[in-house]
Amino acid sequence: MGHIFLAHRSYSFEEVMSGQWHESDPYYAACLSFCQEWLNGKDFFFQLTSGSTGKPKSIQLGRSQMIASAQATSDFFNIKKSPRLLVCINTAMIGGKMMLVRGMLWDADIYITLPNARPFEANWLQLDFDFVAMVPMQVAASLNNARDLKWLCQIDKLIIGGASSSPELISQIQDHNIHAYQTYGMTETVSHIAVADLSKDDLIYHALPSVKIGVNASQCLWIEAPMALERHLQTNDIVTLETASSFRWLGRADFVINTGGVKVHPEILEAQIDKLVKEIYGPIKYFVAGETDEKLGQRIVLIIEHASDEKKEYILRMQLKENLEKYHVPKQIYAIEAFAYTDSTKINRQKTLSLCGFNQF
């Protein structure tokens, strides 16, 4: 059986299962407690949703769902026997928790570290890993540090989730030939049900084995899978089907902006302006939203995580007008020094917008 490695010591699965461990750090203690429950056959677990599109809620996940998810991931990536896994994302969220489950089911050596921006900063984690899950912020930080980059490039399979990877980040991943995949999923599907190979020019998501997909009349994705919370799970994500088992993600239906009768997907527009924003402001966070407007119904606005800077805002407005179609140009740029985030590091758009003083978007 495998082992669980922490910064200061390691435990065999047998030791964890029998309770032969003691950790004073609450994060590591919570990880080991979950692993102990899993190894002893607990059937159900309660998990909070991320809260990125609404108030977080607690849902019950079954052991069989989690096993089905781990098996589908293993089959898709052809995971070898007894791999080495790095768990560097928050295990309080479903993505991190499923990394622990995968490790235990795959008889892996599981290396657990506190979730921070640079997972490879600690010397004891400078190893070759077979399977790692990271959020975009961690990948970006590792790419910008020469020592971290070395170990990032040596990961056999890297999955990136929690938020979308920016075009700039994808370009850097491709430049360094990193074996990375963007994931699509949610708590209700026990982490990802589809992945997109970031070495490809087109971001096409391919469903995992045993996952069936389709769209409703509004072109929103539905999922039927053994790991899903419901037999037929209807999402609010607008997609275009490429094949019976693959799709291109366009954005969330509840984020769509109707400006003067023209429907705009903020996520697509964000990708189009990414280079322009980064050239002027550097690697900041930002997003596009729709503000209530008497004439247009909604007008497009850009929210940036930055102190107000009239000169930069003017330059960006000019660049946006030169490079975007008329109805896609943000009518206003709002600068806010600190966004609101969920526990899984996603931008909480609704809460951030309320910080700007708007009630309707």
Paired with 293 in beta bridges are: 297
Q: Which amino acid is at 131?
A: F
- Tell me the CB-side half-sphere exposure of residue 56, using CA atoms within 13 A: 18
Q: Where are the alpha helices (DSSP H) in 282-338?
A: 310-323
Give domain 3-253's CATH architecture: 3-Layer(aba) Sandwich (3.40)
pLDDT, position 336: 92
pLDDT, position 358: 63
Q: What is the distance between the alpha carbons of residues 248 and 160, in angstroms, rounded to a whole number?
A: 17
Residue 119, token pair as written in the block: 């997972």
Contact 159, 181 (CB under 8 A): yes
pTM value?
0.89
Ordered by start, the domain boundaries in the chain are: 3-253, 256-355
The reply to whether 256-355 shares the fold of 3-253 is no
Note the pLDDT tens digit of each residue in 262-305: 889 999 999 999 999 999 999 899 999 998 888 888 999 999 99
Percent of the chain at pLDDT > 70 equals 97
pLDDT, position 360: 46
If DSSP codes are grouped into helix, strand and coil, which group holds residue 35?
helix
pLDDT, position 200: 93
H or E element in which residue 70 lies: helix 63-77
pLDDT, position 356: 76
Percent of the chain at pLDDT > 90 equals 81
Q: What is the distance between the alpha carbons of residues 198 and 201, in angstroms, rounded to a whole number?
A: 7
pLDDT, position 101: 98
pLDDT, position 54: 60
pLDDT, position 49: 81
Note the pLDDT tens digit of each residue in 144-169: 999 999 999 999 999 999 888 988 89
| DSSP code, position 84 | E
pLDDT, position 355: 81
Per-block average pLDDT, block size 10, for the chain (361 residues)? 92 96 94 98 90 73 97 97 96 95 98 95 94 95 95 97 90 96 95 96 95 96 95 95 97 90 91 94 92 88 94 95 92 92 80 73 41
Q: What is the distance between the alpha carbons of residues 87 and 125, in angstroms, rounded to a whole number?
A: 11
What CATH number should be reported for the domain whose range is 256-355? Answer: 3.30.300.30
pLDDT, position 51: 61
Q: What is the distance between the alpha carbons of residues 116 and 206, in angstroms, rounded to a whole number?
A: 29
| Residue 38 Cα distances to 31, 33, 44, 101, angstroms | 11, 9, 9, 8
Comparing CA positions, the residue from 356, 198, 171, 352 lying closest to residue 278 is 171
pLDDT, position 48: 85
pLDDT, position 361: 41
Instruction: Quote the crossing angle between the two packed helices 266-281 and 167-175, to the nearest 10°.
Output: 70
pLDDT, position 122: 92
